[in-house]
Structure 1
Amino acid sequence: MTDLLEKLRPYLEMARDWAVTPAAWGQAVALVVAVLGARMATRALRPILLRVLTPAEGARGVIALGQRQLARLMPLLAPLLIAGFVAVAEEVIRGAFGTGGILGFAKRFMLFLVVRSFVRDVLRDNFLRTYGRFFILPIAAVYALGLLPVVSEYLSQLKVPLGNLSFDLLWLVKFGLFGGLIFWLGRWSDNRSQAYIEGQTDLRPATRQLALKASVVAIYGVAFLILMNVMGINLTALAVIGGALGVGIGFGLQQIASNFISGIILLLEGQATVGDYVELDGGEQGTIVKMTMRSIILETFDGKWIVVPNEHFITTRVVNYSDQGSANRLEAEFSVSYDTDINLVPAIIEAAVAKHPKVLDSPAPPDCELRGFGESGIDFAVEFWVSGLDDGPNKYVSDVLFLIWNALKDNGIEIPYPHRVIEIKGQGGAPLAG
């Protein structure tokens, strides 16, 4: 301990001598005046800014949105004003005494507090808060200590080998810093563009899906190119490397490429889109709930999801029952007793079925047909058109059968049930009397 104190003694004596100089006292006084002035300015400005930045109740639009976003920055007001006042005081002291180290450190420290408050109190996006905590705050802390040039020089000398290539840690830090920010901006732009495109109800669903996929590719492609330019990566060399990699792994990605191209063809032709009810060549049926770059997701009426590669919609037979609201023909079978005047049945049934609110008059009204003469009764069937499928929330055939039952009962027409005659023969072959 004695040896350590002896080594530090010259520095302690230097600090003591400097502390009694006019420059040191001037910086201390200037720092106190700057902090007090900034706090007074904060108390005066905060109520005015809150009043200006508070939009009218229920107000919407760009101006109201801008006011709300600026109001979220109010926690930064006090440290920003202190940093500003200290920066002015630093310039004054440097002009008077030629030094201002204390004020410079105080300014950098207040800027660190601004960044810390911004990350902790202003940012709401989980990705941005994590990004700020692990990238922005450490850089701000190093800057506040005045070590940013030293740390940057040290990181630039640490090389990381990667085969025949190598890069320094400073380049890696820059890549994480700029890459995270650029791709967050890409994701934000993607979300906004998707919300705008999905709101264009005048466009066909297939066109909207194609526009969504095109916007995703364009936004992230531009983000990638910007990142490469910022990092100083030669795009020509990247193209050569990409071509070599493409040749090497192309055979392994044939199916993915095929599904990608098939998805674009489906969106362009509009043969199937979200909301359609389809039946695949293998017998699977379901409603299309999502179309991705690689596959189409079907949801069955029992809640199961079926992931179907896009290529199957191009190379195999697919039955589309919906085609965005087209009508489907269904039929309900029934029988009447042989005692019925069958000439009256068609008019009665057609009138009853037409009362159903979902039964269409076009392309054809309900049509009751005689199908045959059965063992127990006369067989009829009524054909009718609806916009939808008889499954899930829609029970068209069930509803129509209820209407048929009630119509037949109201008109005194009997619905038959099987009759059987049993003969029991005794000894000698004569029937036994029961």
Structure 2
Amino acid sequence: MDQQPAIVGKLLGWLDQAGQVALGWAKSPAAWSQFGLLVVAFVAAVLITRRLQPLLQRLITPAEGREGLIATIRQYALLFLPLLLPLIAYGLTAAGEQVTRSIFGSGAVIAFGKRVFLFIAARIFVREVLTDGFLRLLGRYVLVPVAALYALGVLDDITTRLDETVVALGNIRFSVMALIRGVIAGSLLFWLGAWSNRQSAGYIKAQPALRPATRELAAKAAEVLIFGAAFLLLMSIMGIDLTAVAVLGGALGVGIGLGLQQIAANFVSGIILLIEGQTTVGDYVQLDGGEKGTIVKMTARACVLETFDGRWIVVPNEHFITSRVINYSDQGSANRYEALFSVSYDTDINRVPPIIEAAVAQLPFVLQAPDGPDCELKGFGESAVDFAVEYWVNGIDDGKNKYASPVLFAIWNALKSEGIEMPYPQRVVEIKRRAPGAGA
């Protein structure tokens, strides 16, 4: 027992001290008076809460169907109503403490009761107010234990002990308390950063006056600013000299120069794409390799293309800068397409253009502006006369919008109804027979 650890001895000392304090309270008339005041404060808090809570609930609850910032704030305020009882009890106990100290010259018991009410408030806050899973986990294993230690009056001793315990990481030395404070603060800061980033991104992307590229750029800039500020604030809380961050930045620059050129190039290319706005989310593009798809997402490293058959193609941003990219769309502008067909040489080809133009013009998706359907003679083939009809549509023939097939059906039906033949390839075969006895 003589070789027991120091922490065990410290705990035994705290328990012995607590036992002596409890024994002293049991023998003191002033302590019993303070216990009585605690009971009175609690009963008064219960009575006040029963009358006040329904009134506050009616005042705070927004009208049915009401939306907006004020309604949202009032909905959040309703979550804090369960804290009303312990907080009123805490306030009454704090007032009673002043009276007790003025009469008896001490208020240790009522001060302990006040801290207990605060502990109860912390438990209710974690169990009934917090709805986010991460915050509830943090409250359960950080806030509630801290409130319990504060209620027992040993929080200052423990924090002092943790401050005196130092951990060395190379040339950097931290106290255990600084590490714990950094973990807790970092968790809260980056949760708050993630929440702020979601809110700001949702607000920015909901602004119809901004172009899609501008919205993406603003959302990325807000994300960098939020998490950058959270990181710098965490460094300040942990007491780390920001010159170490400068050294880290220099090391990162060397790493980029040696092995992260492609990542840096893609990142810079992504910023250029967002600033210029020539290619943005929703555009239908064709890459230099022949791949086609709609841009559904733009990140700091790459763009994601979705083909008409549902496949995703991840294309590094650098390809949009250094290679040729065909952009078929610009926020739903009109596009021109061409349909090829042929007719027989026996046809009066002067009749073909008006027949085809009238048939294609009747299709509901074919535009008359900037130009209506235009049927042109393309050439004279081996077996047929080749034509093409050009037409404009407000969209892209990307597989989802199949414009070419209805146009070809219209051409076929129009030619058939006019008795115009669409020939298949024909060949004339001449067979030469040798005269009898020739070559004998």
Same fold (TM over 0.5): yes
What is the aligned partner in structure 2 of residue 3 from structure 1?
none
What is the aligned partner in structure 1 of residue 270 from structure 2?
263
Q: Residue 427 of structure 1: CA displacement?
A: 13
User: Which range is displaced more, 7-16 or 343-352?
Assistant: 7-16
CA-based RMSD of the aligned residues comes to 3.0
Q: Given the alignment, which residue of 180, 189, 201 partners 2:208? A: 201
1:386 aligns with 2:370: no
The 1:426–1:378 alpha-carbon spacing in structure 2 relative to 1, beyond 3 Å, is: same
Q: Which consecutive aligned stretches of 4+ in structure 1 deviate over 6 angstroms post-superposition? A: 7-14, 419-429
What is the aligned partner in structure 2 of residue 108 from structure 1?
115
The 1:273–1:33 alpha-carbon spacing in structure 2 relative to 1, beyond 3 Å, is: same
The 1:245–1:410 alpha-carbon spacing in structure 2 relative to 1, beyond 3 Å, is: closer
User: Which range is displaced more, 246-255 or 296-305?
Assistant: 246-255
Kept after mapping to 1: 8 A contact 2:182/2:238:
yes
1:173 aligns with 2:165: no
What is the aligned partner in structure 2 of residue 144 from structure 1?
151
Secondary structure at 2:230 match in 1: helix
1:213-292 matches, within 5 Å, as 213-247=220-254, 250-292=257-299
What is the aligned partner in structure 2 of residue 55 from structure 1?
62
Q: Residue 16 of structure 1: CA displacement?
A: 5.2
Q: Report the Cα distance in structure 1 between the residues aligned to 2:76 and 2:309, rounded to whole angstroms.
A: 45
1:41-52 matches, within 5 Å, as 41-52=48-59
What is the aligned partner in structure 1 of residue 193 from structure 2?
186
Q: Report the Cα distance in structure 2 between the residues aligned to 1:12 and 1:274, rounded to whole angstroms.
A: 69
Q: Report the Cα distance in structure 2 between the residues aligned to 1:57 and 1:388, rounded to whole angstroms.
A: 42
1:359 aligned partner, one-letter code: V
Q: Given the alignment, which residue of 288, 292, 305 partners 2:312? A: 305
Kept after mapping to 1: 8 A contact 2:373/2:389:
yes
2:103 aligned partner, one-letter code: A
CA deviation map 1:129-158 (0-9, x unaligned): 233233322322222222211110121122
The 1:243–1:378 alpha-carbon spacing in structure 2 relative to 1, beyond 3 Å, is: closer
User: Which range is displaced more, 418-427 or 192-201?
Assistant: 418-427
1:80 aligns with 2:87: yes
Q: Report the Cα distance in structure 2 between the residues aligned to 1:39 and 1:19, rounded to whole angstroms.
A: 26
What is the aligned partner in structure 2 of residue 4 from structure 1?
none
Q: Report the Cα distance in structure 1 between the residues aligned to 2:20 and 2:164, rounded to whole angstroms.
A: 36
2:227 aligned partner, one-letter code: Y
* Aligned positions, number: 423
Kept after mapping to 1: 8 A contact 2:341/2:387:
yes
1:295 aligns with 2:307: no
Q: Given the alignment, which residue of 110, 113, 133 partners 2:140? A: 133
The 1:55–1:278 alpha-carbon spacing in structure 2 relative to 1, beyond 3 Å, is: same
Q: Report the Cα distance in structure 1 between the residues aligned to 2:155 and 2:373, rounded to whole angstroms.
A: 82
The 1:35–1:9 alpha-carbon spacing in structure 2 relative to 1, beyond 3 Å, is: closer
Secondary structure at 1:103 match in 2: helix
Q: Residue 276 of structure 1: CA displacement?
A: 1.2
User: Which range is displaced more, 11-20 or 38-47?
Assistant: 11-20
Q: Given the alignment, which residue of 318, 327, 331 partners 2:338? A: 331
Q: Residue 257 of structure 1: CA displacement?
A: 1.5
1:23 aligned partner, one-letter code: A
What is the aligned partner in structure 1 of residue 356 from structure 2?
349
Q: Report the Cα distance in structure 2 between the residues aligned to 1:381 and 1:77, rounded to whole angstroms.
A: 79
The 1:17–1:252 alpha-carbon spacing in structure 2 relative to 1, beyond 3 Å, is: closer
User: Which range is displaced more, 287-296 or 353-362?
Assistant: 353-362
User: Which range is displaced more, 32-41 or 304-313?
Assistant: 304-313
1:282 aligned partner, one-letter code: G
Kept after mapping to 1: 8 A contact 2:179/2:238:
no
Q: Given the alignment, which residue of 396, 401, 404 partners 2:408? A: 401
Structure 1 residues without counterparts, runs of 5 or longer: 1-6, 430-434
Q: Report the Cα distance in structure 1 between the residues aligned to 2:241 and 2:24, rounded to whole angstroms.
A: 55
User: Which range is displaced more, 214-223 or 41-50?
Assistant: 214-223
1:285 aligned partner, one-letter code: K
What is the aligned partner in structure 2 of residue 361 from structure 1?
368
1:62 aligned partner, one-letter code: L
Q: Residue 249 of structure 1: CA displacement?
A: 5.8
Instruction: Name the TM-score, length of structure 1 as normaliser.
Output: 0.88
Q: Report the Cα distance in structure 1 between the residues aligned to 2:304 and 2:20, rounded to whole angstroms.
A: 77
What is the aligned partner in structure 2 of residue 124 from structure 1?
131
Kept after mapping to 1: 8 A contact 2:296/2:306:
yes
Q: Report the Cα distance in structure 2 between the residues aligned to 1:14 and 1:265, rounded to whole angstroms.
A: 70
Q: Report the Cα distance in structure 2 between the residues aligned to 1:100 and 1:422, rounded to whole angstroms.
A: 121
Structure 2 residues without counterparts, runs of 5 or longer: 1-12
Q: Residue 20 of structure 1: CA displacement?
A: 4.0
Instruction: Name the TM-score, length of structure 2 as normaliser.
Output: 0.87
Q: Report the Cα distance in structure 1 between the residues aligned to 2:316 and 2:385, rounded to whole angstroms.
A: 48
What is the aligned partner in structure 2 of residue 432 from structure 1?
none
What is the aligned partner in structure 1 of residue 164 from structure 2?
157
Q: Residue 417 of structure 1: CA displacement?
A: 4.6
Secondary structure at 1:344 match in 2: helix
Q: Report the Cα distance in structure 2 between the residues aligned to 1:54 and 1:273, rounded to whole angstroms.
A: 43
